[in-house]
Amino acid sequence: MASVLGFVNVFKAAGPSSAQTVARIRGIYGVHSGDRHIGAGHLGTLDPQAAGVLPVAIGKATRLIPLLTDQRKAYAGMLHLGRATTTQDALGETVAEAEVPEDWGRRLQDAISQFVGRIEQTPPMFSAVHHDGRRLYELAREGRSVERRSRSATVYSITVIGIEERAARLRVTCGEGTYVRTLFADLGAVMGIPAHMGALVREASGPFVLSESLTLDEIAGNPSAAIIPPENIIPFPTIVLDLRGAVDFRAGRVVALPGGAPAKHVFVRDESRTLVGVGETHGALLAPRKVFA
């Protein structure tokens, strides 16, 4: 049985949901490791019609997800003007249509300035947000619409990278939990023009970037090569414990810290260089924070 612990930078194609993609990854590594119950979890949902970077934690690396502090996302997407939809993307039913005025480019630049920084967004009905124990998209498919609380989001930048007839290609960098579909629809509302989001590609998610992502077929062809060690993703230094220290650490006991404390939090490996957990330094002592048995 091959032990698997790390991250995979998956290129999700347009069409499958994030959950379906993770299920496929879990199947690949279940066969690879001989553990059909192996854990897997993504680091932020990507809409089914969107493509791009979908980072997935494999094995006990799922326990490291809370330690990922870089949650910045980057997207490139099409803003289509003249039509608003129920889903805020091209797949929804039309709810409003209008002619696109000739000065829409100027209106767009004026609107962009209002959406950079801390903003408020109302989650779309076609989203995975819970309402009374059910997902909003489940209610939306039944034709229901419920009141939703607005949420804060951070947009670091919006850049126009291309202009077409009645459409603009935008690059957006934003924080965790930002609804790009809603951002595009809200831009149109401020412009006074019905709008929706077209094609969307996530170019980066924290330290995971599009140029380094792998398709499902590429990952299935060489699962070992696709695994990224946690140290390459989370900027903690690594220390190595001797046999006795590693045994005590795995048992949840505080151990002596070999050498000085390189940082507040460290990855801990044993003499065989197997990752045994994450420790927190306290002077000359090392306390287990997360232990991988």
- The mean pLDDT value for 146-165 works out to 90
Predicted confidence at residue 103, as pLDDT, reads: 96
Q: Do 50 and 101 belong together in one domain? A: no
Helix intervals (H) in 13-66 = 18-33
Average pLDDT score over the chain: 92
Per-residue pLDDT, 12 = 98
Measured over the CA atoms of residue 245, residue 246, residue 247 and residue 252, the dihedral's sign is: positive
Alpha-carbon span 25 to 12, nearest angstrom: 11
Q: Which residues are 180's β-sheet partners? A: none
CATH code at position 55? 3.30.2350.10
**Active-site residue list:** 47
In this structure, is residue 93 part of a structural domain?
yes
- pLDDT bin (cut points 50, 70, 90) of residue 65 is very high
Q: What is the mean pLDDT of residues 281-285?
A: 93
Instruction: Check residues 106 and 293 and name the one with the higher pLDDT.
Output: 106
The verdict on residue 1 lying in a domain is no
Q: Which domain CATH number covers 254?
A: 2.30.130.10
**Percent of the chain with pLDDT strictly greater than 90:** 80
Q: Do 97 and 199 share a domain, yes or no?
A: yes
Residue 213 lies in a domain: yes
Residue 123 is predicted with a pLDDT of 74
Q: What's residue 258's pLDDT?
A: 87
Q: How close are the terminal C-alpha atoms of the chain, in Å? A: 15
Residue 128: band (very low, low, confident or very high) from pLDDT cuts 50, 70, 90 = low
Residues 172, 89 share a domain: yes
Q: State the Cα–Cα distance between residues 18 and 126, nearest whole angstrom.
A: 15
Is residue 78 domain-shared with residue 190, that is, in the same domain? yes
**137 falls in which pLDDT band (50, 70, 90)?**
low
**One domain for residues 217 and 253:** no
**Token pair of 115 as six digits:** 């959406």
Whole-structure pTM value = 0.88
Judgement on whether residues 220 and 262 belong to the same structural domain of the protein: no
Domain count for the chain: 3
Domain finish residue from 215, 232, 249: 232
User: Do 250 and 148 share a domain, yes or no?
Assistant: no
Whether 105 and 164 share a structural domain: yes
Range of the domain at 50: 6-69+207-232
Which one, of 219, 208, 217, 223, lies nearest residue 52 by Cα?
208
